[in-house]
Structure 1
Amino acid sequence: MRILVAPDKFAGTLSAVEAADAIAEGWSRTDPEADVVTVPMADGGPGFIEVLHASLGGELLAVTVRGPLGDPVPAAVLKVGETAYIESAQACGLVFLPTEADGRTPRPGVAAQASTYGVGELIAAAIDAGARRVVIGLGGSGTNDAGAGMLAALGASSEPVKAMTSGPEGLAHVASVDVEPARERLAGVELVAASDVDNPLLGLRGATNVFGEQKGFVGDDAKLAADAALTTFAEAAGRKVADAKGAGAAGGLGYGILLVGGRREPGFATVAAAVGLPDLVATSDVVVTGEGKLDWQSMNGKVPVGVAGLAGSALRPCIAMAGAVQVGNRELRANGIEAAYSLVDIVGTEESFAHPARSLAAVAERVAKTWSRR
């Protein structure tokens, strides 16, 4: 019996690689003769590089870039042939923003000065290493600058000079923008934004109004000011692509990529194609996926539903394991998931958070008794 294990990360506790290994370990306890194949997954956010490296191999190039608030941060470029993969969160992630006392909530106002400059440095490093195709995973950003910092790192300029590298506070004062040097730097390079977010840059469904609060843009005034700053920048740099699907991804980083001739691909589909997931699903008997919290957001293009969709097309059963399951059986089955199992329900909340890998393995061991042929 062949079991394909293809989970996303369990945010805050396990990477996708760790989760896949834990599920495989637990399943093998029940059915040691099963052929358990692990394919960790991602949709473009944190873990994008780790997942691709685990499946594709390739060369990891260590790079130090400018973080969202200007401090140097370590990052990596994964080079596989002439394709380079970049994880934007490594350069401008939410994790780099100072937080309130709870250690999770970004301090209000800080992201107003945060920049994607480091993402541009990563792209430049990939090109310098010989990449002719650069795939940028978008997600988990702590920035809301419409990709202005990224463009500046690639040679774009503005008046005033530092307006593009100071977050939306700087963009509010932009008088003119010259993007052509960045386009020239990218000549002959295919640029791809991997993201499942299809929001536009501006307005009620835009980057600021939908995702701004989780970055510290609290209150209507803060959101209004930030959205107005992005509007000012878009008017100066090019309004045409601001309404395109995905322009609002990663605080508008999608817009910056589209502005210089890049294109957007669904994040899950990008990773699935790169690791050969459709063929692996088709040759498996049971497909197992999962993530930290299986909720309504999971039903909107996230990894579990993406995996389930491939399983359904191949007429293979798909089950899910999650830290918590917050959707009903009817909705799960409507999205191709036959059954879902919650760690907090089976082993308890305290054990799940204290020993996540052990807990996930224990749940997998139990689930295998139902889904294995033994």
Structure 2
Amino acid sequence: MTSEQKQLVKDTVPVLKEHGVLLTSHFYARMFQYNPELKNIFNMGNQQNSKQQTALAMAVLAYAEHIEDPSVLLPMVDGIGQKHTSLDIRPEHYDIVGRHLIASIKEVLGVAASVELLDAWTVAYNQLASLMSGREKALYKKHTEQKGGWSGWRPFVVKQKVVESTEITSFYLYPADGGSVESHLPGQYISLRLFLPELQLLQPRQYSISCRSNSEYYRISVKKEVGSKHPDGMISNRLHNHITEGSIVELSAPAGTFILNESTLAHKVFISGGVGQTPLLSMIENLTNEADETKVSITWIHGCRNEAVHAFKDKITELSNFYSNINQHVFYEQSNELQKNKYKGWVDLEVLKETVLDHKAEYYICGPALFIKKHYNFLVENGVQKSAIYFEEFGPASLHLN
């Protein structure tokens, strides 16, 4: 890009800050009008609740702000690249997106969209697309080179369906071809794709892998969205209501950057709300997969509405009873009888301040955006380094805390 083109892109930052979601909403509507087949790739639930439009607006803004040195965005690029490979996004999709994005800029800005500005954004987009597709090519290659790895969608059989609580059920997924599965890093997710008759579309959803890595299967633990007819809950509800043992589903290879740091023996503090515990289950199983005492000190903090919806409570209790250096703390919003290390109300780290705050610890938080933000802020305000805090927000990213 020329210096003049970079300046033109930077000059759009104020507009993107104020009207970014308007632009991305127009873009998605336009793209789906002209390329309706892409509805089979995008999560239409996130389109309806505007999460995807907001996430894209934030990404475009960040790119415009750092157009002089896009390398500072590499962590974000890696996270998006992981999500794209899990959705089987290919280089040809970037061509379609680019065409509609530039057209949307022209249509939304009107007379303010000069030829020079559109040319600058075209060059900028092509630069970003090249960066993204290059990263994704490397990720696809890495998957296919691993034992049990694959690229794109692969059929799996639901061999076991296990009820974990009144809301959460686990699905044990084995390759339909009888082969092995690619190892996953503790905390990663897989994308699962089903046909939704209600929408007449194939729809993908990401689910955290809730077990430690093995060569045979993946386990996902899915919350039923009771009473929900929103597209965002349709796949989860279809899994609960229509997918039985023996059913076939399609999966993409494991992805995600929210992973356990296994390079140190630092104290691990896991903080989860509701079904947010699923990636943390993979992490704690990974740390306790030997018969001997785990060398890592673990604090497990979980909150949910009540004991009936509390999945895996027996599993975590079993681990904490077996391993002396695992401490479990549970918060129930609704509860009459509370025992040791069980509390009434929402997760409150202030109550556990002496146990939780450790300048050598690493913190892993997963749950709704407000849950993450609350506990992240508490830790930072109490002297925890941001680099020691890892978090996973389900759905399109809306938090940029680090």
Compute the TM-score of the two structures, normalised by the length of structure 1. 0.31
Compute the TM-score of the two structures, normalised by the length of structure 2. 0.29
User: Which structure ranks higher in relative contact order (CA pairs < 8 Å, sequence separation ≥ 6)?
Assistant: 1
